[in-house]
Amino acid sequence: MTLPADAELFSPYDLGSLRLKNRLVMAPMTRSRAVEDNLANPLAATYYAQRAGAGLIISEATQVSPQGVGYIRTPGIHLPEQVAAWREVTKAVHKAGGAIFAQLWHVGRVSHPEFHGGALPVAPSAIAGEGEVYISTGRVPLGVPRALETDEIPGIIEDFRKAALNACEAGFDGVEIHGSSGYLLDQFLRDGSNIRTDQYGGSIENRARFPLEIAAAVAGAIGADRVGYRVGPNLNIHGMKDSDPKATFTYLAGELDKLGLVYLHVAEPIAGPTALPPEVERIAPHLRKVFTRGLILNGGYDVDLGEAAVSSGTADLVAYGVPFLANPDLPERFRQGAALNAPDFTSFYATENGDAVGYIDYPTL
């Protein structure tokens, strides 16, 4: 379908003080192409600049500390060399007329001792996640993590605060806090992974305390109008579950709104192979009622569903993942109603064929 020139999806949007040229967001996607010392690959400058037609790019997940690592060849933003590598990326994006946020990440229990000198990964509670993790020898099952001591938590909050400052130093326009997909903040929030008995466990208010303290620290460091937060209320990846996701995530969203965060990014598939079954209640409409600034929806949207979400007021922006991966010029293809490139699933992550393959070699119109 070719949308009219005045389609809402192509209209500008004011995200805090940042003027976005359209409502299309490039979703954060891990590509496993970082180089030695968890530096962003030099090719990343080309990769992201190719996709600067998006109103906003959200970078691949980026570790706030060595403890936050859980995947091979993923970048960090806690060392000066990492900041310098990311600066080349943001320069390229800005030169191409784009805007880019860094996604700040700590994987928690979704990790392996190989990444931590033999030490156990950390989590709110000593409960193993479900699934596997990819290490140097291949895929291995997730193990039982170590429960964080209460006095360790302020140090992780400080890691996020410093990472946000580093992101700004690297030239990012803002940051997104990764509170989704079964990683550390998500683990604290949900009662299926958090059985703590201190002030960070038990009630919804206590389980949300750690994510909210991180959000407050990051907003205090760089300004709330440069901070977004991502949630996945119905994403059960890595064995995540919660007894009352509607209550849990509505509370979190309301408190994030009080902090003045510029957007809430909700991953909740509505189409495609991972779409929620009809009997599962969608949480995003409830979050829309309590979060008063930008709402980004992500999960199976095509051009028509994206336009419908924005024009109806269901969302302010729509995030696209795989479509942007395979189509550097996705907004222009949507404008023209042009066919989309088919994604090559075998090269989503780095292969022996080289980092460029499946990364910067998709054709434009």
Annotated catalytic residues are 183
Token pair 């900041």: residue: 83
Residue where the block lists tokens 């949308």? 3
Distance CA 38, CA 307 (A): 37
Q: How far apart are CA 265 and CA 282, in angstroms?
A: 14
Q: Cα(22)–Cα(15) distance, rounded to whole angstroms? A: 11
Helices (H), the chain: 44-50, 80-95, 153-169, 184-189, 204-207, 209-222, 245-259, 284-290, 303-311, 322-326, 330-336
Q: Which own/partner pairs from 354-363 qualify as long-range (CB within 8 Å, at least 24 positions apart)?
A: 355/33, 355/41, 355/43, 356/43, 359/31, 359/33, 359/43, 359/47, 360/43, 360/46, 360/47, 360/50, 362/325, 362/326, 362/327, 362/328
Beta strands 138-141 and 132-135, pairing class: antiparallel
